[in-house]
Amino acid sequence: MPIEMPRGLPFSVDTWSVRSQMKRHHFLTHAHKDHSSGILTHSSFPIYCTGLTKSLLLNQYPQLDESLFLRIEVGQSIFIDDPDCEFTVTAFDANHCPGAVMFLFEGSFGSILHTGDCRLTPECLYCLPEKYISKKGIQPTHRLDYVFLDCTFGKFRQPLPCKRSSIQQVINCIWKHPAATVVYLTCDLLGQEDIMVSVSQAFGSKIFVDKVANPELFGALNLTVPEILTQDESSRFHVFDGFPNLYKRAAAKLAEAKANSQPEPLIVRASAQWYACDEEYSCTGSEGKLRFDTVVKDLYGVWHVCYSMHSSREELEWALQLLAPRWVASTTTPSCSAMELDYVKKHCLASRLTPGDPLWKLLDIRVDGDDVSTQCTGKNSPVVERVPAEMVGGESPTKSKNGSFSKLPCTLPLYEGQTVTLFGRARLRIEDSFEKCGQLVSDKIGRELQVEIAREEESDVVKVKQQVEHSSVCGEELSEKDGSKVSSSGAASGSSNNLGENLKRYYRSMNVPVPRPLPSLLKLLDNHKRRTKRRF
């Protein structure tokens, strides 16, 4: 799920929550449903996106109000005269799916590149303003302050074939199966049109898409590649739904052909999903999956080609080296975190916040210079950045009748030992959680709320420390609501054994793994003693 933009920004990107409704401007990077989920309940003008994204969206949701949208095309800059901070936004190709763009925001909040979903290539990045690009290893003349980066395959260390090479693999696979009188292409996802266009051109045939059975797909292809569509079912090429139950349906198609003594149809799936996720469907094991340069047949008879619309880790690292941004956060949560990337570990995590850092403004926090200076240079802040509790525990800005935001007074209730990383917060969407709490404690501002999100270690253990001072800030309010008791200090040990049921439920609801218990030191010592005794 896309993450919310920090509260100091007057715009949202790809989110349609109550929180994002409160922003004055809304941006949609592309028309994939995980980025437009909730848009039907959204009625706040304007939503900026490309003309094609708007058309694709109206094809998916005909009931959407067209007048909510404002068009921005690749290469176009729009100046937005926001009452709080005027800014300019420019759209750049994201190499993801038709109509997909990255947005570059430039204003008093700094310079922010939001990639949406992207497959970053040199062509994409060299379209950005020259001042943001490194040259011959020398940092750019202007550094991007923040990059919100698509880290979907950030854990995917193997190099991914480029789209052109993947498409060639699909064509080669079809050439090698001349006996297949029917070829099913699982290309029903927005962004896979290029495969169909190339197949159509290579074999001089149009592709059958059932308009009646699949009106949404037909509508989308009719907008993007109408020239390759046919309603003639006798065409050799058919689009095959990739979801749901692809493997069952594929096996059924093959069995049906066999039962009718027909030639075996060819079923080709061009996606990175199988390589990245579908472990249980791999017949060839991890070795087979490593062969990205060739097609691989699985147990069910489906031929796989690795076709990715997202950047590999290698591509992300290269892009970050080129852009050399000051901060990086993942656009989505929780599949991968930007903080796992080598660039971020090396260049971002070691940096400290200073009182003059634009990050404070981005987070809409008024900074008391002395306090921050003391905290930021304090002995107890060796690696992670110190961020005041208000940032995660305070209320959201509220919109007044005239549409302006009334900012809450933000003092800095800083505490010793309190650490929250920007990355950890973005990753865990902690803001959302505390927004819920914030509603419950709206009349209790000023109470002390202390949260620590330690960096996720390689062992995947997430340590969450929450301390609520005074009687009932979050824990007890939640307990009352849920009818069960949550210990406000029970989460401090980092062990799931000590997490309250509500907190465990919360982790699960956010699709975040419940922290695994850390091994007990006493137990370890005990085991060690026993082993030592046995030896003697």
Positions that interact with Zn ion (CB under 5 A): 32, 117
Q: How far is the CB of 217 from Zn ion (least distance, A)?
A: 16
Instruction: Compare residues 32 and 54 and give the one whose CB is closer to Zn ion.
Output: 32
β-pair type (266-270, 464-468): unpaired
Measured from the CB atom, the residue of 53 and 467 that comes closer to Zn ion is 53
32 vs 386 by CB, closer to Zn ion: 32
In whole angstroms, the minimum distance from the beta carbon of 331 to Zn ion comes to 10
Shortest spacing between CB 100 and Zn ion, in angstroms: 7
Q: How far is the CB of 117 from Zn ion (least distance, A)?
A: 3
> Which residue bears the tokens 């200073």?
354
CA separation for the pair 247, 298 (Å, rounded): 9
Q: Which is nearer to Zn ion, 335 or 489 (CB)?
A: 335
In the complex, least distance from residue 330 CB atom to Zn ion, rounded to whole angstroms: 14
Tokens describing residue 217: 């797909």
Range 61-99 burial, b when 16+ CB lie within 10 A, else e = eeebeeeebbebeeeeeeebebebeebebbbbbbbbbbb
Closer by beta carbon to Zn ion, 95 or else 466: 95
Dihedral sign from CA coordinates of 178, 180, 185, 186: negative
What is the closest distance, in whole angstroms, from the C-beta atom of residue 13 to Zn ion in the complex?
A: 13
> Which residues in 440-469 are b (16+ Cβ under 10 Å) and which e?
bbeebbeeebbbbbbbbeeeebbbbbbbbe
Query: Smallest gap, in angstroms, from Cβ of residue 56 to Zn ion?
Result: 12
Nearer to Zn ion, 91 or 182 (CB): 91
> What burial letters (b/e) apply to 228-266, b meaning 16+ CB within 10 Å?
bbeeeeebbbbbbbbeeebbebbbebbeebeeeeeeebb
Residue identified by tokens 């550094």 is: 143
288, 158 Cβ separation under 8 angstroms: no
- Closer of 32 and 163 to Zn ion (Cβ): 32
Please name the residues in contact with 224: beta carbons below 8 A apart, sequence gap of 6 or more.
Answer: 52, 56, 98, 190, 193
